[in-house]
Structure formats: C-alpha cells, structure tokens
C-alpha cells in the first residue's frame, strides 16, 4: 500500500515537508527587506514627494502645497547646468584613468604575480577596510598646501610658491580614481582569471601578438 501511495502521489509526508521548506527563503529575506523598505524606500518616496512641493505666492515661509508637476526639477537643472556637465566630465576622466590603471594591474595579478597573488589581492582590497570619508580626508592631507607633493614641487625653481592642488580638477579626479580603483580592478581580475591558459597558448600558435 505504501508503494501504491507513493506511485499515485497520495502520500502526504513529502508534500508537507516541501511546503514547510518553501517559506524558508522568504523568512531569510524578510529582515533585509524590512530594513531596505524602512531606511531606503520610504526616504526616497518622502524625498520625491517633497521635491514636487511649491510655496504658493504670498504664503508664509514654510507653507508648501503638493503639485503634480516637475518645475522644481527643471529649475534645479537650469540653475546648476554647468555643475552637472562638470560632474560628468570628472566622472568620465576618473573612469578612463581607473581603467588605464586597473587593467594592467589586474592582468599582472591574474597571469604574472605567481606566489605573490594573494598579497597583491589583499593590497587591492585593503582600502575597503577603511571608510570612504577617511580615505578622502587622507587625500586632502596628501594634496594639501603643506603636504608632501606640494612641498616637493615647490622645491623646483620653475614652480610658483602659491601653487596648490586642493580644490582643483586634478585633486577631484585623483580622489575619484583612487577611491573607485578597487571597484575596477577586482571585476577585471575575476574576468581575466577565468581565461583558460590553453586559449592563450592557442593564440600564440596562431601568431597572435601580445595584445
């Protein structure tokens, strides 16, 4: 009879076990989902709602009404158009520089590092153990007027004594490149490491160059 129940699918034991396990992924997901909804989704909704409010003409300061229009966004873009364009330019330059530095570094770690691979990976990951703000403050000290770079450059006869690097495009792009360099290096390394060495050998047999 047990065989007949199993063959016909009338046994209730396995089904109850499957049903009880089906809630496990949702229970594991619940804490993180509640956290995201509370501290991410709700603030974004509140910010989006506030961004469409306007102050009626003649109303007291602090009095706003909700209107379903996006004039505030248009005004914000028109008033800060130069800053938006500059931000995109800085982001593009930082991306290009990060790629130019990260690709050779990832290639060396993947194919040329040998027994030093783990050490190099630790050095790449090490900045993640400090906060983004702390790394940025460190760069302000390095590029500051009394920092090592500016102090060394001022020793040269053709460098003006009033030269400074902070609050310049060079400082902004350098800081962005440094902070986001690990995010460029690690994915490139993961992709390069998966390349089958036999593929490189085959390309060499077909007279492919180093590139």
Range of the domain at 209: 81-211
pLDDT of residue 204: 78
Q: How many domains does the chain have?
A: 2
- What Å distances lie between residue 97 and 94, 182, 199, CA to CA? 5, 12, 29
User: What are the tokens at 174?
Assistant: 């350098």
Task: Identify whether residues 57 and 154 lie together within a single domain.
Answer: no
Task: Identify whether residues 55 and 138 lie together within a single domain.
Answer: no
**Residue where a domain terminates, one of 50, 79, 108:** 79
SS3 53: strand
Task: Identify whether residues 118 and 189 lie together within a single domain.
Answer: yes
Distance, in Å, from the CA atom of 81 to the CA atom of 122, rounded to the nearest integer, reads 41
Task: Identify whether residues 178 and 108 lie together within a single domain.
Answer: yes
Task: Identify whether residues 37 and 104 lie together within a single domain.
Answer: no
pLDDT in tens, the chain (211 residues): 444 444 455 555 555 445 556 888 888 999 999 999 999 999 999 988 888 888 777 667 767 777 777 788 888 888 888 999 999 999 999 999 999 999 999 999 988 888 888 999 999 988 888 888 888 888 888 888 888 888 888 888 887 777 888 888 888 999 899 889 999 999 999 998 888 878 878 887 787 776 6
Distance, in Å, from the CA atom of 17 to the CA atom of 11, rounded to the nearest integer, reads 11
Task: Identify whether residues 108 and 141 lie together within a single domain.
Answer: yes
Task: Identify whether residues 74 and 63 lie together within a single domain.
Answer: yes
Task: Identify whether residues 113 and 205 lie together within a single domain.
Answer: yes
**CATH number of domain containing 93:** 1.10.3720.10
Task: Identify whether residues 35 and 2 lie together within a single domain.
Answer: yes
Task: Identify whether residues 14 and 64 lie together within a single domain.
Answer: yes
**Residue where a domain terminates, one of 26, 59, 79:** 79
Task: Identify whether residues 90 and 193 lie together within a single domain.
Answer: yes
Task: Identify whether residues 117 and 130 lie together within a single domain.
Answer: yes
pLDDT of residue 3: 45
**Residue where a domain terminates, one of 79, 106, 140:** 79
């Amino acid at each position: 009879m047990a065989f007949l129940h199993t063959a016909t699918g009338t046994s209730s034991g396995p089904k109850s076990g499957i049903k009880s396990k089906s809630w496990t992924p949702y229970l594991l997901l619940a804490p993180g989902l509640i956290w995201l909804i509370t501290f991410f989704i709700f603030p974004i909704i509140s910010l989006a709602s506030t961004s469409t409010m306007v102050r009626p003409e003649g109303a007291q300061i602090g009095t706003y009404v909700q209107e379903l229009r996006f004039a505030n966004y248009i005004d914000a873009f028109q008033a800060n158009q130069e800053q938006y364009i500059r931000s995109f330019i800085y982001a593009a330059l930082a991306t290009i520089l990060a790629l130019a530095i990260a690709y050779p570094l990832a290639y060396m770690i993947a194919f040329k590092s040998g027994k030093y691979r783990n050490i190099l990976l630790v050095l790449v990951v090490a900045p993640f153990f400090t906060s983004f703000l702390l790394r940025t403050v460190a760069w302000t000290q390095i590029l500051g007027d009394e920092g090592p770079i500016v102090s060394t450059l001022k020793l040269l006869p053709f460098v003006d004594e009033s030269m400074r690097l902070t609050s310049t495009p060079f400082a902004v792009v350098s800081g962005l490149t440094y902070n986001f360099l690990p995010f460029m290096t690690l994915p490139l390394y993961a992709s390069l490491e998966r390349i089958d060495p036999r593929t490189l050998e085959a390309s060499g047999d077909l007279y492919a160059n180093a590139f």
